[in-house]
């Protein structure tokens, strides 16, 4: 269950929705840290999240959406009316709005883009959606400081001062120079702006032929470039050498870290995108089963090595053929739960004290997935051996061990986090040991009760 503060926040937000009180909901959210906002929204039902985003003004809704997990933000935007979603996207930084639209169903993204009134903004977002996620075009920040070559030092300094006054955290790293067609022609160093005469045209102090990257440069290309050069950011140009944005060193590092996270999730069986426990149960079941079900076949292939010597074994030894299937399949289910727990801990959506929520959510999912996987494996065992009791033993053992493994997989990261141990390092070995022991015990103990029927 959620802690008291999260429960109180959730109840207050629900009261705001019931009374249609947008100012109060806004003040409640503003008083929370970013992590607490995420937790509060995560504990709301999908329909409640949608109602909250509709209640808030677009700017406040965008600020809230910006800090949600991407998968959750996409889900909320897709469920909103296109007009409301477009007003929120309009308030988001262009790179974030483009990322969210890129992850949506094409029909939903097109409907939202059609509702954006500013033709230039619409065009920029369409271009960003078309860029690959891990390319310079997909990673770039479109808010850049660019001036035409006929501007003076005074013009540039005045503009930068106005920007600093209008923004609490102006991020000014480079100032670029473009011609009348917006082609990149130079870069200005900040020290040259400070030390040069104010009336001097900037094309007299700019560095010509600045290093640049194409919108099509891959994440690997960008990583190599930043490793080789001490730049904080690099200008991004399109195929016509028109300046489109800037890609930062920090942005590339964040993208690399996100890719590592995705790789970890995929290696753990979450192959259909990010999963959060706030998602619908059946959607989560299908996401996990899409990876778990084929693993039955893969594990049976491994077990066929033992099956080649089956004729020489006693009836009880035949169980050894399916022992690794039960333990390995259960381990796969547990690894998925481990991955989701670690991800939610990283996002601040989960705390060690939330073990009851994990217990409830994983027990339901484990029951459904366990029954389905147990049934599939039981049928395969019956086809192979023609013994209904053997198929019941193996199928039941897999079903029970799946429930146990997802509970262990979901809870172990929380326990390790409480004791300040890195869950990513220790969860796997603990889970493997527990699921193997439990799987072997279930198979052998169930078989011993019907031993006479197995021979």
Sorting pLDDT into bands at 50, 70 and 90, what band is 308?
low
Q: Are 139 and 222 in contact (CB under 8 A)?
A: yes
Q: Do 407 and 357 share a structural domain?
A: yes
pLDDT in tens, 74-91: 888 888 999 999 999 999
In order of 152, 155, 206, 271, the CA distances from 199 in angstroms are 6, 9, 14, 58
Average pLDDT, the chain: 83
List the domain range (segments joined by +) for residue 243. Answer: 146-257
Q: Do 278 and 391 share a structural domain?
A: yes
How far apart CA 389 and CA 397 sit, in angstroms, is 12
Does residue 136 sit within a domain?
A: no
User: Pick from 194, 223, 257: which residue ends a domain?
Assistant: 257
The residue among 139, 345, 352, 134 whose CA lies nearest residue 260 is: 134
Does residue 89 sit within a domain?
A: yes
Q: Do 241 and 166 share a structural domain?
A: yes
pLDDT in tens, 326-359: 888 998 999 999 989 988 887 778 888 898 999 9
* Distance, C-alpha 199 to centroid of its chain: 50
* pLDDT value at 364 more than 90: yes
Q: Do 317 and 425 share a structural domain?
A: yes
pLDDT given at position 373: 96
The residue among 56, 220, 214, 62 whose CA lies nearest residue 140 is: 214
pLDDT in tens, 107-147: 889 999 999 988 888 888 888 888 888 899 888 888 888 89
In this structure, what token pair is assigned to residue 22? 């947008």
The residue among 156, 162, 158 whose CA lies nearest residue 175 is: 156
CB proximity list for 162: less than 8 A, separation 6 or greater:
none
- Residue 164 phi/psi, 5-degree rounding, is -65, -35
* pLDDT value at 378 more than 90: yes
In this structure, what token pair is assigned to residue 231? 């730049």
How far apart CA 399 and CA 372 sit, in angstroms, is 8
How far apart CA 438 and CA 399 sit, in angstroms, is 12
pLDDT in tens, 239-279: 899 999 899 898 888 888 877 776 566 555 565 556 667 67
Mean pLDDT for 37-42 is: 83
Q: What is the CATH number of the domain that holds 111?
A: 1.25.60.10
Does residue 81 sit within a domain?
A: yes
pLDDT given at position 156: 87
Residue with tokens 């955290």, as numbered in its chain: 169
The residue among 95, 120, 98, 117 whose CA lies nearest residue 109 is: 98
* pLDDT value at 366 more than 90: yes
How far apart CA 347 and CA 357 sit, in angstroms, is 16
CB proximity list for 361: less than 8 A, separation 6 or greater:
277, 410
Does residue 264 sit within a domain?
A: no
pLDDT given at position 272: 57
pLDDT in tens, 44-60: 888 888 889 889 999 99
**Higher per-residue confidence, 412 vs 133:** 412
In this structure, what token pair is assigned to residue 297? 């076949």
The residue among 192, 231, 190 whose CA lies nearest residue 210 is: 231
Q: Do 284 and 408 share a structural domain?
A: yes
In order of 203, 274, 281, 442, the CA distances from 287 in angstroms are 56, 10, 10, 27
CB proximity list for 219: less than 8 A, separation 6 or greater:
134, 135, 139, 252, 255, 256, 259
* pLDDT value at 399 more than 90: yes
157 class by beta-carbon count within 10 Å (0-12 exposed, 13-18 middle, 19+ buried): middle
Q: Do 366 and 405 share a structural domain?
A: yes
* Percent of the chain surpassing pLDDT 70: 87
Sorting pLDDT into bands at 50, 70 and 90, what band is 2?
low
In this structure, what token pair is assigned to residue 166? 């209008």
Sorting pLDDT into bands at 50, 70 and 90, what band is 93?
confident
| Total H helices, total E strands in the chain | 20, 7
Does residue 447 sit within a domain?
A: yes
Beta strands 233-237 and 243-248, pairing class? antiparallel
**Higher per-residue confidence, 429 vs 403:** 403
Question: Rg for the chain (alpha carbons), in Å?
Answer: 28
Q: Do 213 and 164 share a structural domain?
A: yes
Does residue 25 sit within a domain?
A: yes
Q: Do 162 and 73 share a structural domain?
A: no
Q: Do 367 and 409 share a structural domain?
A: yes
In order of 120, 140, 203, 303, the CA distances from 148 in angstroms are 19, 21, 9, 70
Sorting pLDDT into bands at 50, 70 and 90, what band is 427?
confident
Structural domain total, the chain: 3
In this structure, what token pair is assigned to residue 157? 């300094």
Mean pLDDT for 449-454 is: 80
pLDDT given at position 309: 42
User: Pick from 227, 257, 287: which residue ends a domain?
Assistant: 257
Mean pLDDT for 223-236 is: 88
């Amino acid at each position: 269950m959620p802690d008291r503060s999260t429960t109180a926040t959730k109840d207050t937000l629900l009261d705001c929705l019931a009374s249609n009180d947008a100012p109060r909901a806004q003040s409640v959210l503003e008083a929370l840290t970013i992590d607490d906002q995420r937790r509060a929204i995560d504990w709301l039902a999908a329909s409640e999240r949608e109602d909250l985003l509709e209640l808030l003004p677009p700017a406040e809704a965008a600020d809230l959406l910006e800090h949600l997990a991407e998968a959750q933000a996409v889900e909320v935007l897709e469920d909103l009316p296109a007009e409301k979603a477009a007003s929120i996207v309009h308030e988001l930084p262009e790179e974030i709005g483009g990322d969210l639209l890129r992850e949506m169903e094409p029909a939903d993204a097109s409907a939202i883009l059609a509702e954006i009134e500013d033709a230039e903004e619409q065009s920029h977002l369409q271009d960003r959606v078309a860029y690959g996620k891990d390319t310079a075009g997909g990673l770039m920040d479109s808010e850049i400081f660019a001036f035409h070559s006929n501007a003076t030092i005074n013009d540039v300094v005045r503009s930068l001062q106005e920007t600093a006054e209008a923004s609490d955290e102006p991020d000014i790293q480079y100032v670029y120079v473009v011609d009348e067609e917006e082609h990149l022609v130079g870069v200005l160093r900040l020290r040259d702006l400070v030390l040069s005469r104010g009336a001097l045209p900037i094309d007299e102090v700019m560095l010509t032929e600045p290093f640049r990257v194409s919108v099509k440069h891959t994440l690997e290309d960008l990583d190599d470039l930043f490793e080789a050069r001490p730049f904080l950011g690099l200008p991004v140009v399109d195929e016509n050498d028109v300046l489109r944005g800037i890609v930062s060193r920090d942005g590339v590092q964040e993208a690399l870290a996100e890719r590592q996270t995705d790789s970890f999730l995929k290696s753990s069986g979450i192959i259909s995108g990010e999963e959060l426990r706030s998602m619908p149960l059946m959607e989560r079941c299908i996401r996990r089963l899409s990876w778990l079900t084929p693993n039955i076949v893969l594990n049976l292939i491994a077990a066929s090595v033992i099956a080649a010597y089956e004729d020489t074994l006693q009836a009880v030894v035949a169980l050894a053929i399916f022992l690794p299937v039960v333990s390995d399949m259960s381990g796969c289910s547990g690894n998925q739960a481990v991955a989701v727990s670690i991800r939610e801990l990283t996002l601040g959506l989960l705390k060690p004290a939330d073990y009851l929520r994990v217990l409830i959510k994983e027990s339901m999912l484990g029951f459904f997935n366990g029954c389905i996987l147990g049934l599939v494996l039981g049928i395969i065992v019956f086809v192979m051996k023609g013994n209904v009791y053997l198929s019941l033993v193996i199928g039941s053992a897999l079903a029970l061990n799946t429930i146990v493994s997802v509970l262990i997989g979901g809870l172990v990261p929380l326990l390790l986090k409480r004791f300040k141990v890195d869950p990513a390092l220790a969860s796997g070995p603990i889970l493997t040991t527990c699921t193997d022991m439990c799987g072997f015990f279930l198979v052998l103990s169930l078989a011993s009760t019907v031993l006479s029927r197995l021979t």
